[in-house]
Chain A
């Protein structure tokens, strides 16, 4: 089982190695946000410096790749439901969860590299970050990515239609982004928004990210986010693996 997961992972990483530019495109958006949006926030923060703005804003910008980047990874699999690749793998000796797990782990690894790059840019711009915060943030990104890629592969296998899937992703992505306070903290908003946000899992990862970046490592938001995404990650991955079965009609 572990061996098959590693084999699929190796294969997927081979594909990434042959085409390394795509993941770089993925970080363009958050980097632009850091360069062109974060400076606008300086007056809103207590300290009033760019470093303060970055401390508040970078976690949200990073969660954008964890959400958007990951939600779209499943698209590659829709084609494979038709061109026979999954059909062939389904009747091979492969351990079925490995087909999904190999890809998910690849996506998470790519996400971690992207996160490092985005944090690198933020640090160049003046953000200061402790090692523990940095490592925990990477872990949090991985957990969030696990959840979002699980949804993405599950959707791809359940919907099996590019048009339908992009509609669904578009439909959910924007409200999830806004109601997670990715751009600006939800605490700035009215009470009803704060209440609604509590039903959005991403709200917890953004809040936990902000606590990490602020250096408040003992904040309760952090264990809550990790616990939540551990559970959600397992659920969405299980759903994705089970959706493989529906291929057979």
Chain B
């Protein structure tokens, strides 16, 4: 296991002005295990505690309680050893705006212990990988958001770490760059590098990661592979708008092929397996119950349905 965390907690004491303080329980007991060469995602809404968790694992923030071992070393007692083994790309990026990206990359390489010529070779490789060679000598402040992200990533990988932390790596990227980044993350895994990334994009967690945890209010509410988590909910979901929602829910809940129903505002979601085959039966049931359907759609269950099931609200309107 490259990451083993037990009951990690972090309580911040935030100033509220006029000398008053407030306790913020950012992380409230998180257990994690991530194995070598795995893409692991922490999915959760804003303020869920993703960044705080990553910061504790990356030795930036000391946990209030709990323990974590990263690459075999304790994150508090052996922080220096952990730092040799990780790359960390923060949510903010962390590339010096005033210098050319190449300089930041070279400095990071030298700090990681490379000689001057090794550092040049390594920087050259990374610039090539992330197609940055052309813009390596321009001050970073003149680059676009996506180009800066790629520099941040290159710097995070400079010491060939067996584990990288990517805190919301795709926020602010256009679809093209997002897809490129996904490819780069997959390439890392193929070389045996473990990746722990955070995201609040459902499709990203679904498409990219081998396993994930869903974090809400500082706690893990679900854990597993995307497939397993979705299967626990059901294969498919029928979303309905009805005039009489309560009786519709009662009627559908009584059907044998319906696993679960959930009413939210004016929509009713019914979870079922093998939706294509069961949809006709569902329609017949509603018709014989005399319920008028205003709209209906059938879709595969997503991680949002998983989130909804575990937290009672949709990730789209969480936060």
Contact = CB atoms under 8 A, between A and B. Distances in A.
Given A83-B94, A248-B61, A93 B111 contact: yes
A83 B96 CA distance: 8
Nearest to B148: A83
A205 B137 CA distance: 42
A92 B94 CA distance: 12
Contact of B99 (A15, A84, A90): A15
Interface residues of B, number: 34
Contacts of A85: 94-96
B187 interface: no
Which one of A4, A18, A90, A92 has the highest number of Cβ atoms from chain B below 10 Å of its Cβ? A92
A53 B313 CA distance: 77
Which one of B89, B107, B152 has the highest number of Cβ atoms from chain A below 10 Å of its Cβ? B107
Contact of A91 (B60, B95, B96, B152): B60
A82 interface: yes
A92 B111 contact: yes
Which one of B55, B90, B95 has the highest number of Cβ atoms from chain A below 10 Å of its Cβ? B90
B108 interface: yes
B133 interface: no
B93 A248 contact: no
A87 B94 contact: yes
Contacts of B86: 91
A249 interface: yes
A87 B96 CA distance: 12
A248 B92 contact: no
A11 B103 contact: yes
In this complex, the interface size class of chain A, counting residues with CB under 8 Å from chain B, is 20 to 34
A84 B94 contact: yes
B92 A82 contact: yes
B288 to A, nearest CB: 60
A88 interface: yes
B88 A88 contact: yes
A7 interface: yes
A82 B83 CA distance: 21
Nearest to A6: B110
B111 A88 contact: no
A223 interface: no
B93 A15 contact: no
B112 A88 contact: no
B98 A4 contact: no
A175 interface: no
Interface string A58-88: 0000000000000000001001101111011
B13 to A, nearest CB: 9
A248 B62 contact: yes
Nearest to B107: A11
Contact of B155 (A11, A80, A88, A248): A88
Nearest to B57: A91
Contacts of B60: 87, 90-91, 247-248
16 contacts: A7-B110, A15-B98, A83-B92, A84-B91, A84-B92, A84-B95, A84-B152, A85-B94, A85-B96, A88-B94, A91-B58, A91-B60, A92-B83, A93-B112, A93-B159, A247-B60
Given A15-B99, A91-B88, 19 more contacts: A8-B107, A14-B103, A76-B98, A84-B90, A84-B91, A85-B95, A87-B55, A87-B60, A87-B90, A91-B58, A91-B59, A91-B83, A92-B83, A92-B108, A92-B111, A93-B83, A93-B84, A93-B113, A248-B55
